[in-house]
Amino acid sequence: MTMTPIYLYNTLARNKEQFQPLNPPRVGIYSCGPTVYKDIHIGNFRTFVMTDWLRRMLEYNGYDVYLVRNITDVGHLQNDMEESGEDKLEHAARTTGRSAYEIAAYYTEQYMRDSAELSILPPHLSPKATDHIPEMLAMTERLIERGLAYAVNGNVYYDVNRFADYGVLSGNTVEHLRAGGHGRQQMEIAEDKDAPEDFALWKRGDESRQMSWQSPWGLGFPGWHIECSAMATKYLGEQFDIHTGGIDLVFPHHEDEIAQSQGANGHPPVRFWVHGEFLILGNRKMKADAQANEDDSIKMSRSKGNVILVSTLKEEGIDPMAYRYLLLTAHYRSKLNFTDESITAAQHALNNLRADLAALPTTSSQAAWSAEAQQVQQAFHKAINDDLDLPTALVITRETARNNKIAPQERRHLLLDFDRVLGLRLNTVEAKAPRVLSDEVHALVRQRDEARAARNWKLSDQLRDQLQALGFEVRDTSRGTEVL
Ligand code: AMP
Ligand code: ZN
């Protein structure tokens, strides 16, 4: 395993911390997955690609990663913050005439197809919420037994006041919430809750719902957060290494997940909470139904109708890999602006990188790395281990492609080695067939090297011009003249 330390920004500590797995060499990661009632957009994919890079970075360091990303196919309400309205899947079923299960299957397939287009490695496990109702019921019962939840009218609520650590992740303590923090509107519509800050573990259902299950409290369906606690505990254990998601999930989703898992199992579930910033829209036209108020209009969100899909990119002639390249240009904890200019620039830069790589010859034997190549590799390794500093890693990659101090074959090896982390599919870029050099060209190269050794720059320049006139690109390297 690696000797280069890994640092990650831990939302829980509000700081970068050195990462050490609980049970090396294994690293368990839980990543909140898509809600499959509508298209999964490129904003969602920013978060999934971030987790993919985290996984690849850990694998590059020699760890044995086990990644679980769930599929949320039940439980999200039309207004999650207020915990009111119809279940989103049920709503989609009612308005489209398709069954809730058909809709979930359709968007799950779109998510898997687009994940593959973006070169996201498949998670080791993609559990569906609807397959884990018994686990959710068991955890809910456990919370009631431990005095942390109560049942009323067929609903079960988490008793937030009984959990002393509430607010540990987001800073949204009960006092803060009561004072109007975080705009949690659900505080006003308390309905049958003991306290407005309590949240639902189980909701009462009725026969009209397509997705309802029997429970000790009658027919119903799970609340928004319990699925992730139940599935993470089942597949990664009561304590695991890393939990990821988009920044909007810190509260209430992940705060509530801690309350549920710690409440049921007795200890904090996650060592590192890693959250990715949002993809925002710059000068893209919004769809007609998008709300036009300032802040919200640039946040890509399904409810606002301003979404771009992987298929939209392809229709516009943009390679999905160019989007992945664009994501590499910003740190995952910074907002990233998607504009026509930024995606076009990413496409050009990717094309250039591919062209540079294609010009580098392949070799069957891998000699030991030269000192220069080792230095570059260390710099790359250090960057990715420093809280996934991929913008720096990308600059190193681009410079490596043109670094004349490193032999061309070795440059190719380095680029492919780096791409194990970047995931730009550079290994599909074929090397151009090496040009067969005529005796005349060989002679010019030899004469030029002799002229340079004799510090006869005038002659050396003349010979370079002659080679260029013959259609060659001339590079000066530590090993002498190189023609491409
Ligand atoms: P959802 O399907 O809405 O539950 O979202 C799936 C994941 O995408 C979550 O981790 C969200 O935080 C994340 N997400 C949603 N919108 C964006 C965005 N515009 N940029 C980055 N991540 C997002
Ligand atoms: Zn989740």
CATH code at position 234: 3.40.50.620
pLDDT at 89 over 80: no
Pairwise CA distance, residues 95 & 86, whole Å: 12
Average pLDDT, the chain: 89
What is the C-alpha radius of gyration for the chain, rounded to an integer number of angstroms?
Answer: 27
Q: Is residue 238 part of a domain?
A: yes
Q: Is residue 294 part of a domain?
A: no
Name the nearest CA neighbour of 270 among 278, 282, 262, 280: 262
Query: If you write DSSP's letter for every residue of 49-90 in order, what string do you get?
Result: HHHHHHHHHHHHTT-EEEEEE-BB-S--EEETTTTEEEEHHH
Q: Are residues 182 and 330 in the same domain?
A: no
Assess whether the previous peptide bond of 252 is cis (omega < 30° from 0): yes
Pairwise CA distance, residues 114 & 123, whole Å: 14
Domain-terminating residue out of 276, 293, 319: 276
Q: Are residues 272 and 418 in the same domain?
A: no
Q: Is residue 296 part of a domain?
A: no
Q: Is residue 163 part of a domain?
A: yes
Q: Are residues 47 and 105 in the same domain?
A: yes
Q: Are residues 451 and 421 in the same domain?
A: no
Ligand 1 site, residue 249, Cβ cutoff 6 A: yes
For tokens 């029997």, what's the residue? 214
Q: Are residues 73 and 193 in the same domain?
A: yes
Which pLDDT does position 364 carry in this prediction? Answer: 66
Work out the pLDDT band at 101, boundaries 50, 70, 90. Answer: confident
**Closest C-alpha to ligand 1, atom 6:** 34
Q: Are residues 386 and 460 in the same domain?
A: no
Domain-terminating residue out of 223, 255, 276: 276
- Site to probe by mutation for ligand 1, drawn from 47, 54, 296, 304 as the one with most ligand atoms within 8 Å of Cβ, is 47
- Of ligand 1's atoms, which has the minimum distance to the CA of residue 76? 4
Q: Are residues 133 and 62 in the same domain?
A: yes
pLDDT at 83 over 70: no
Ligand 1 site, residue 300, Cβ cutoff 6 A: yes
Tell me the per-residue pLDDT of 397-449, one tens digit each, with 9 for 90 and over: 999 999 999 999 999 999 999 999 999 999 999 888 767 788 889 999 999 99
Tell me the per-residue pLDDT of 46-73, one tens digit each, with 9 for 90 and over: 999 999 999 999 999 999 999 999 999 8
Which pLDDT does position 205 carry in this prediction? Answer: 86
Determine contact, residues 45/114, Cβ cutoff 8 Å.
yes
Q: Is residue 313 part of a domain?
A: yes
Which residues lie below 8 Å from residue 393, measured CB to CB, with a gap of 6+? 328, 380, 383, 384, 418, 421, 422
pLDDT at 85 over 70: no
Tell me the per-residue pLDDT of 316-341, one tens digit each, with 9 for 90 and over: 999 999 999 999 999 999 999 999 99
Q: Is residue 266 part of a domain?
A: yes
Domain that holds residue 398: 309-433
Q: Are residues 198 and 346 in the same domain?
A: no
Which pLDDT does position 281 carry in this prediction? Answer: 87
**Total number of domains in the chain:** 3
Q: Are residues 104 and 234 in the same domain?
A: yes
Pairwise CA distance, residues 54 & 204, whole Å: 39
CA 134 to ligand 2 center in whole angstroms: 17
Tell me the per-residue pLDDT of 214-259, one tens digit each, with 9 for 90 and over: 999 999 999 989 999 999 999 999 999 999 999 999 999 999 999 9
Pairwise CA distance, residues 219 & 339, whole Å: 47
Measured CA to CA in angstroms, residue 33 lies from 51, 78, 354 at distances of 11, 18, 31
What the block records as the tokens of 220 is 């119903």
pTM: 0.86
Which pLDDT does position 178 carry in this prediction? Answer: 77
Q: Is residue 42 part of a domain?
A: yes
pLDDT at 285 over 70: no
Ligand 1 site, residue 43, Cβ cutoff 6 A: yes
Q: Are residues 154 and 186 in the same domain?
A: yes
Which pLDDT does position 293 carry in this prediction? Answer: 42
The mean-pLDDT minimum among 112-126, 140-154, 181-195 falls in 181-195
**Percentage of the residues of the chain whose pLDDT score is greater than 70:** 88
- Of ligand 1's atoms, which has the minimum distance to the CA of residue 44? 8
Which pLDDT does position 97 carry in this prediction? Answer: 74
Determine contact, residues 54/274, Cβ cutoff 8 Å.
yes
What the block records as the tokens of 484 is 């491409």
Q: Are residues 400 and 460 in the same domain?
A: no
Q: Are residues 413 and 444 in the same domain?
A: no
Q: What single DSSP character describes residue 428?
A: G
Q: Is residue 299 part of a domain?
A: no
- Of ligand 1's atoms, which has the minimum distance to the CA of residue 245? 10
